[in-house]
Amino acid sequence: MANPGTLHDWIVTLPEDGRYVFSREDASSVSDASSAAVKMTLYRLKRSGAIISPRRDFFVVVPPEYRSAGSPPATWFIDELMRHLGRRYYVALLSAAALHGAGHQQPMAFQVIADTVERDIEIGRVRIEFHVSNLVEGAATQTMQTETGSMVVATPETTAFDLVRFPAACGYWSNVATVLSELAEVLDPDELAAGAQRVARSDAQRLGWLLDRVQEGDLAHALARKLEAKRLLPTALTSVREACNARLDPRWRVLVNDKVEPDL
């Protein structure tokens, strides 16, 4: 076991081994210092800005070039953070769309969908915004490499459905339509149709209507084929707004009760 005085050095030299995160248990295991001494070392490093603690007993080393920002990018630690919390997750919404090339508007926060409720995290200039979904386990995802490892990211098709499921988190319908028009370049019609089986039918209707709205006919047709044998109930585009006098789109049975003006 190491000497008590080596804990500080062990932490600040972790990046030399390509490692940027550790737990309180890790810190205690590398030193025979008392719990009080470990706590004091961690406190001093946090106070100096050398480490941050996004969640209890989870720490991230902050390289000197990120000290002014208060934190390295969320991509550096999101995967290990969620494993520390025991949560299923994937990077989602505008953050996932940007990773897939739809970066018309960079998200103000790093957006994550998890299987249980999590409080948002804000450290320095980094903000992680959590949304909860009961569809995380069955969602189509992919692994993307990051500067420090990897993370789970929604596929383009899962992203498309999630943009429709969480419009308020994505700047509402005009911005959702704009992002979809850019994301369309990497959407696979067959995968999109398969994804419709994992979401509410009303979400597939809304997505189909939006794809028509941004003139992505092939993608819209793939969804329409998947839904053609289904009974489509009239579905308001915006569920929180009155729709009794809204125009009913005959193809998608969507009550168009909001203005959608994509920036194409």
For the chain, domain boundaries: 4-66, 74-256
Position 252 scores a pLDDT of 96
Checking phi first, is residue 200 left (phi over 0); if not, alpha (psi -120 to 50) or beta?
A: beta
Q: pLDDT at position 3, please?
A: 45
At residue 264, the pLDDT reads 74
Written as tens digits, the pLDDT of the chain (264 aa) is 344 458 999 999 999 999 999 999 999 998 888 889 999 999 999 999 999 999 999 999 999 999 999 999 999 999 999 999 999 999 999 999 999 999 777 788 999 999 999 999 999 999 999 999 999 999 999 999 999 999 999 999 999 999 999 999 999 999 999 999 999 999 999 999 999 999 999 999 999 999 999 999 999 999 999 999 889 999 999 987 787 889 999 999 999 999 999 987
Question: Which residues on neighbouring strands pair with residue 126, listed in sequence order?
Answer: 123
Burial 197-218 (b: 16+ CB within 10 A, else e): eebebbbbbbbbbbbbbbebee
pLDDT for residue 2: 42
State which amino acid sits at residue 33. A
CATH number, span 4-66: 1.10.10.10
Q: Which residues neighbour 244 within 8 Å (Cβ) at sequence distance 6 or greater?
A: none
Q: Rounded to whole angstroms, how far apart are CA atoms 151 and 96?
A: 11
Phi-psi region of 128 (alpha: psi -120 to 50; beta: other; left: phi over 0): beta
* pLDDT for 221: 97
pLDDT at 82: 98
Distance CA 154, CA 34 (A): 43
The phi, psi pair for 94, rounded to 5°, reads -65, -30
Q: What pLDDT does residue 20 have?
A: 96
Rounded Cα gap, residues 180 and 234, in angstroms: 23
